[in-house]
Amino acid sequence: MESGRGRLVGNRVALVGAAMYFLEWVAILLIPSVPTEKLGHDPTAIVAAYSDPKTIGLAAGWFSVMLFGRVIFTIGLRDAFQGLRRERLFANIAVAAMGLSVAIEVISFGITAAAAWVADAGGNQDAVVALDAASEVVFSLVFGPLAVSVLAGSIAMILSRLFPRWIGWLGVLGGSLLLVGGILGVGGLGAKGTFHDVAGAFMVGVPIFWVWMIATSVVLFRATPKRT
């Protein structure tokens, strides 16, 4: 850890937020694969995928709580820049952008839950297909603001010189990939061939974001002042 700007004062909040966010996998592993990513192709299979509305609805509620962990994480990161006006500005952008990404993702799966209940009620097949496609498109809009958040937080880390430089630059890499993927994502959803493949390739930024998030949380946790 570099000492050019003094000593990092960490906290446990970022790690709590990261742990909370990764608990989304409890629901992901239990629900059907929805939205289906079919975007209107094979309507019968799309409707069949929404055969368990209670589980999908519970997952929607679970996501609405656990995904907020991403916002809590960025608030914990921002707390490390007390007294650093320039870095704090970037950290504020990170918190705002992360909040937007979480809101979009929660709304996206809310639409998924709506599709499940419409299907369960024997609703019009076209309505289920349309809701399924809308959920997938809205979900693809998560990655742009997520990328902005990661980039802003990483820039703040690099400028502050309080964190190991590799973590900051890892965030810049992951955020940059996510930014391009977020811009191209919706355009590549229903496409085939090179454009679709290129747009999808930039999603490698997601696991890089996860590593950056965990590493940042651990550094902040280890730098938490001991109680006396």
Burial of residue 227 (CB within 10 Å: 0-12, 13-18, 19+) is exposed
pTM of the model: 0.92
Look at residues 113, 88, 193, 187 and name the one whose alpha carbon lies nearest to residue 143: 187
pLDDT at 5: 60
Over 60: is that where the pLDDT of 1 sits?
no
Write the Ramachandran bin of 35: left for phi over 0, alpha for psi from -120 to 50, otherwise beta. Answer: beta
Confidence of residue 228 (pLDDT cuts 50, 70, 90): low
Which has more pLDDT, 60 or 199?
60
Length of the chain: 228
Averaged pLDDT score across all residues of the chain:
93
In the chain, % of residues over pLDDT 70: 97
Contact by Cβ (8 Å): 127, 188: no
Element housing 100 (H / E): helix 85-120
**Domain locations along the chain:** 13-221
pLDDT at 2: 43
Contact by Cβ (8 Å): 115, 131: yes
